[in-house]
């Protein structure tokens, strides 16, 4: 393939994984999980109107979600230059923002490595958890490779890649260390209320109940048990949630990719136009990409 393949390229796990439609549910799950870190969620709410239940919040909320999707899409499928510029823009915005601890009155920067690392880990964990439980055919080794690839995304938001978990064992250890810092604060419940009933014009309220609420409920159900306890809301048993995820995955993946990829922000279509048809993401590429990247054939590996 001629042309700039970007930070990851068509043979990466990231390239295949991030084109899956279940990424939208995974993104909502990430917001739920991220909001449980008091300093992180405080930094968001004190610097954005997106989660306010008023007209300003309504204007900002969907724009914020689309900006996040655009950022992930640019890093995943954009040119190297576009991804680097997107990362520089995010780092520049974060450098200018601070938040205040209401208990002490102390101000802190929202680009502290601790906070950036939490946001990153909650995000990549959500992508892996939702897609794998929904039936996406990713082996353990490929999941580890994905986390290693995503250290590049961590670098672009201002983290030292060496301080970011690069496999499932390191990610699990990170969450175990971080759990004592998590809490179901008023700010977390504000995010929960927003995700359950995001502000929309009155005529769209029925559509919100019909289309959005099931997505938010399913995303919430996929959280770990400690997150449900911190939010104080029950969730279905894990086996029930997994069945629902698999049903949602089958339905969404039945929509032809060429149609799905036409939805904003259309990064996949632009990447294919830039690199040619061979760049189309697909789960069928995962075995081949693992063999190439590992330097040997994986046909004999029972995991894939």
Residue-averaged pLDDT of the chain: 90
| pLDDT higher than threshold 90 for residue 159 | yes
Cα(12)–Cα(43) distance, integer angstroms: 33
pTM (predicted TM-score): 0.91
For residue 53, what pLDDT band results from cuts at 50, 70 and 90?
low
| pLDDT higher than threshold 90 for residue 266 | yes
Q: Which stretch of 60-69, 86-95, 180-189, 245-254 has the lowest confidence by average pLDDT? A: 60-69
For residue 295, what pLDDT band results from cuts at 50, 70 and 90?
very low
pLDDT at 291: 52
**Structure confidence by residue, pLDDT tens digits, 234-256:** 999 999 999 999 999 999 999 99
pLDDT at 64: 74
**Structure confidence by residue, pLDDT tens digits, 199-218:** 777 787 888 788 889 999 99
């Amino acid at each position: 393939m001629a042309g700039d393949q970007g930070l990851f390229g068509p043979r990466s796990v990231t390239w295949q994984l991030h084109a899956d439609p279940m990424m939208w549910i995974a993104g909502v799950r990430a917001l739920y999980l991220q909001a449980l870190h008091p300093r992180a969620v405080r930094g968001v709410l004190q610097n954005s109107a997106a989660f306010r239940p008023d007209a300003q919040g309504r204007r900002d909320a969907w724009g914020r979600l689309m900006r996040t999707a655009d950022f992930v899409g640019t890093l995943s499928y954009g040119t190297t230059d576009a991804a680097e510029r997107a990362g520089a823009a995010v780092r520049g915005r974060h450098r200018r923002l601070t938040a205040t601890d209401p208990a002490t009155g102390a101000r802190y920067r929202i680009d502290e490595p601790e906070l950036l690392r939490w946001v990153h880990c909650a995000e990549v964990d959500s992508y892996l958890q939702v897609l794998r439980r929904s039936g996406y055919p990713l082996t353990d080794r490929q999941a580890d490779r994905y986390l290693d690839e995503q250290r590049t995304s961590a670098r672009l938001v201002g983290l030292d890649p060496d301080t970011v978990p690069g496999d499932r064992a390191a990610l699990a250890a990170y969450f175990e260390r971080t759990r004592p810092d998590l809490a179901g604060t008023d700010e977390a419940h504000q995010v929960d209320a927003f995700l359950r009933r995001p502000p929309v014009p009155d005529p769209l309220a029925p559509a919100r109940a019909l289309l959005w609420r099931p997505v938010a409920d399913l995303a919430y159900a996929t959280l770990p048990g400690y997150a449900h306890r911190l939010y104080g809301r029950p969730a279905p048993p894990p086996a029930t949630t997994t069945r629902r995820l698999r049903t949602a995955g089958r339905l969404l993946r039945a929509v032809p990719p060429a149609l799905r990829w036409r939805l904003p922000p259309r990064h996949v279509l632009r990447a294919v136009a830039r690199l040619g048809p061979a760049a189309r993401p697909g789960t069928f590429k995962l075995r081949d990409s693992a063999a190439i990247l590992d330097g040997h054939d994986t046909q004999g590996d029972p995991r894939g």
